[in-house]
Structure 1
Amino acid sequence: MMMGRHPAKRAGIALALMGFAAPLFAQQPSLPDDVSAFVSRRDGCDHFRGEEATDHDRRAQIEEALNRLCRGSDADLARLKRQYSGNKAIMTILERYEPDIEGDGAAD
């Protein structure tokens, strides 16, 4: 089996890839705390919305993450858009998120 042949090399590659991805997950320091928290939570939500369950355990993990990260995010997004409607930079960030992912039609 080739998986165990070069664990140090594979670990180095994994660390390098994480280093390239780190700026993608870094929060913008100029964002207000409530917007920064929303962006972090909603990005996690959107990640798990795209996950496929490969088995029962993974399905349970995904459902838990969706409940924890996504529930209430439609209302939070609408509230933040109202609160920061006069701030073009923040609105540009908030506009990248779908307004109705929870499916109840209550967003905005």
Structure 2
Amino acid sequence: MMMGRHRAKRAGIALALMGFAAPSFAQQPSLPDDVSAFVSRRDGCDHFRGEEATDRDRRAQIEEALNRLCRGSDADLARLKRQYSGNKAVMTILERYEPDIEGDGAAE
């Protein structure tokens, strides 16, 4: 009997927390397709920039990913910032990214 009440209480708390979280999902701005594609690609790039090569095969995998995901991203970021300079929501997202990662040799 006590066990049932605790489960019900936990379920109620979980539902209440979900109710508080729901507005934050609704407030997420819908990003233009080109910005969403950039964010996805650049997040992948940044992930592999932080990867450690543990052996030759892994180094090759990382280098391939860096070339595929990072190459051209500095220019893409600059272009998107110019294109969406008047869109505060988009600019907030784009400002999270370093503007010059290719100059350090990460994608070369």
Give structure 2 stretches of 5+ with no counterpart: none
More helix by share: 2
1:29 shift after superposition: 6.9
Please identify the structure whose Cα radius of gyration is greater.
2
Aligned-pair Cα RMSD in Å: 7.5
Q: How has the CA–CA distance of structure 1 residues 21 and 105 changed in structure 2, closer, same or farther, with 3 Å as cutoff? A: farther
Normalising by structure 2, we get a TM-score of 0.70
Q: Percent identity?
A: 95
Which range moved further: 58-67 or 17-26?
17-26
Normalising by structure 1, we get a TM-score of 0.70
Deviation, 1:96, is: 0.2
Q: How many residues align?
A: 108
Map of 1:74 onto structure 2: 74
- Structure 1 residues 105 and 60, CA, compared in 2 at 3 Å: closer, same or farther? closer
Distance 2:56 2:18 in 1: 28
- The C-alpha deviation readout for 1:81-100, integer Å capped at 9, x for no partner, is 00000000000000000000
Give deviations 1:18-46, integer Å, cap 9, x for gaps: 99999999996710000000000000000
Partner of 1:47: 47
Residues in 1 aligned to 2:88 and 2:48: alpha-carbon distance in whole angstroms: 28
Q: Spell out, residue by residue over 1:58-106, the C-alpha distance to the aligned partner (whole angstroms, 9 max, x if none).
A: 0000000000000000000000000000000000000000000000799
Q: Contact 1:100–1:107 (CA<8 Å) still a contact in 2?
A: no
Aligned pair in 2 of structure 1 residues 57, 18: CA closer, same or farther (>3 Å)?
Answer: farther
**Structure 1 outlier segments of 4+, above 4 Å:** 1-29, 104-108
Question: What residue ranges of structure 1 are gaps of 5+ in the alignment?
Answer: none
1:17 to 1:76, Cα distance in 2 relative to 1, 3 A: farther
Closer, same or farther: CA 66–83 of 1 in aligned 2, 3 Å: same
